[in-house]
């Protein structure tokens, strides 16, 4: 089992371009697994964790409802946003500047074969990171993600999740609102859940801006512990 995970910093990149890049890595890992089984070899499968920031974009999961996007194609263009229907789980979400978006592309057979455990560990990574800022992140029963003040009229979501897996290989991941312009969430019903607010780290802390790299370092620290993984860094050109 290979528990080394290569961290790739993609910077600011178009959603579709990043999606294609994920698909390429995802397919390469699956092809290697198929080859191993067909040829009875035991070549190690690699693991990756991509960090990226997207320009304004709305994405709809495979089981999502387009009616949860509340604006027209013309309005999308007006606010400088794009829209894609994609192959992850979940409903509609927003990505944009000021978010930390993470896409772990892992062969879970290197770690454990339990997709629910995988999601719970990703949530735990966020919860532990928020705790370092003195904030109590929580899970909400039946609603994937990390929230504040669950079960109260003030419930609000700070991190959305949506994953896809095949042959125990994962793609897509999470979007943590750090310095996000929350006005873009007004154009959708976040994750298809009515009556729930969205928040960001800088709003919760009452600060103008939180250092993005600082947040990433904390996320990776907790990720490596939870997945018992060794991380190595690679910067994309």
Complete DSSP assignment for 170-234 = EEEEEEEESS--GGGGGGB-GGG-TT-EE--HHHHHT-S---HHHHHHHHHHHHHHHTT-EEEEE
- Binning pLDDT at 50, 70 and 90, where does residue 18 land? very high
Q: Which domain holds residue 42?
A: 4-235
pLDDT reported for residue 193: 58
Is a pLDDT exceeding 70 seen at residue 177?
A: yes
- Mean pLDDT of the residues in the chain: 92
Q: pLDDT for 107-147, tens place per residue?
A: 999 999 999 999 999 999 999 999 999 999 999 988 889 99
CATH at 165: 3.30.930.10
**pLDDT value at 50 more than 90:** yes
Q: How many domains does the structure of the chain reveal?
A: 1
Query: Is the pLDDT confidence value at 195 over 80?
Result: no
Rounded to whole angstroms, how far apart are CA atoms 214 and 218?
A: 6
**pLDDT value at residue 74:** 87
pLDDT of 194 > 70? The answer is no
DSSP per position, 127-159 = HHHHHTTT---EEETTEEEEEESTTSTT-EEEE
The residue-averaged pLDDT of 75-86 equals 88
Q: What percent of the chain has pLDDT over 70?
A: 95
| pLDDT of 49 above 90 | yes
Structure tokens at 116: 């629910």
198-213 pLDDT per residue, tens: 999 999 999 999 999 9
| 0.75 surpassed by pTM | yes
In the chain, the N- to C-terminal Cα span, in Å, equals: 29
Residue matched to tokens 């750090």 = 178
User: Distance between CA atoms of 103 and 118, rounded to whole angstroms?
Assistant: 13
Q: Which of 150, 191, 198, 212 is catalytic?
A: 191
- Is 159 catalytic? The answer is no
């Amino acid at each position: 089992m290979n528990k080394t995970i290569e961290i790739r910093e993609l910077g600011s990149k178009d959603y579709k371009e990043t999606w294609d890049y994920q698909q390429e890595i995802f397919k390469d890992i699956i092809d290697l697994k198929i080859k191993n089984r067909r040829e009875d070899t035991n070549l190690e499968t690699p693991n990756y964790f991509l960090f990226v920031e997207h320009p304004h974009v709305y994405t709809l999961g495979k089981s999502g409802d387009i009616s949860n996007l509340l604006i027209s194609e013309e309005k999308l263009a007006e606010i400088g946003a794009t829209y894609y229907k994609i192959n992850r789980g979940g409903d509609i979400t927003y990505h944009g500047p000021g978010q930390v978006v993470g896409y772990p592309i892992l062969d879970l057979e290197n770690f454990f074969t339990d997709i629910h455990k995988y999601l719970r560990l990703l949530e735990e990574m966020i919860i532990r990171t928020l705790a370092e800022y003195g904030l109590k992140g929580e899970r909400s029963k039946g609603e994937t993600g990390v929230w504040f003040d669950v079960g109260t009229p003030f419930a609000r979501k700070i991190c959305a999740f949506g994953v896809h897996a095949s042959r125990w290989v994962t793609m897509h991941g999470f979007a943590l609102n750090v310095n996000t312009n929350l006005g873009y969430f007004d154009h959708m019903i976040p994750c298809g859940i009515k009556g729930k607010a969205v928040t960001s780290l800088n709003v919760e802390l009452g600060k103008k801006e939180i250092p993005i790299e600082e947040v990433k370092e904390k996320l990776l620290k907790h990720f490596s512990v939870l997945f018992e993984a060794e991380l190595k860094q690679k910067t994309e050109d």
